[in-house]
Chains A and B, each alone.
Chain A
Amino acid sequence: MNKSELIKAVAEKGGLSMKAAKEVVNTFFDAHIEAILRDERIEIRGFGSFVNKCYDAYVGRNPKTGEKIEVPEKKLPFFKVGKELKVRVDS
């Protein structure tokens, strides 16, 4: 399922126009992206939580050439699945 399929499903199930469903779905993910960019933790009960993790710089290698490369420190958003969804996915 991609974003346009999600929009279509939300429009059908919620009795919304495609335009309204698109606005809602975009607002939903934009809110997530903005919170992540603010380094803010997101917690959605029954779904999961997002938190940014910091990784130190390290010296890596280009696996093709074997060349050494400096990988600078970076942040990555990390998702932890919520209890309800964890159980549903595994059943």
Chain B
Amino acid sequence: MTKSDIVEAVYQNVGFTKKRAAEVVNLILDTMKDALEDGDKVKISGFGNFEIRMKEARKGRNPQTGDEITISERRVLSFKPSQVLKDRLNNK
């Protein structure tokens, strides 16, 4: 499934034009991205939570040369599926 399938679903369900449906789908994605960029969590009941986590700096290796390198501290985005979604996926 890609974004165009989601736009199609919005077009079918909500009765917007395709153009309007595409705009609103992009607006949802941009709103979520802006919140996450600000370090805010995005919590969607029945689906899951998107959350920013700090990763500490660690030593790594360049797998091609074997050189030791320091991987600097960074912020990463993680998604935790909701228990409801996990149960539905496993037919519980």
Contacts and interface: CB of A to CB of B under 8 A. Distances in A.
B1 A40 contact: yes
Interface residues of B, number: 46
B58 to A, nearest CB: 15
Contacts of A28: 6, 9-10, 25, 28
A81 B50 CA distance: 10
A49 B79 CA distance: 11
Given A2-B43, A13-B31, A43 B2 contact: yes
A27 B33 contact: no
A81 B75 CA distance: 12
Contacts of B75: 89-90
11 contacts: A1-B32, A6-B28, A28-B9, A29-B46, A33-B85, A36-B89, A43-B1, A45-B2, A74-B86, A85-B33, A89-B76
Can you list the 3 inter-chain pairs with the closest CB atoms, starting with the nearest? Answer: A79-B79, A35-B1, A81-B77
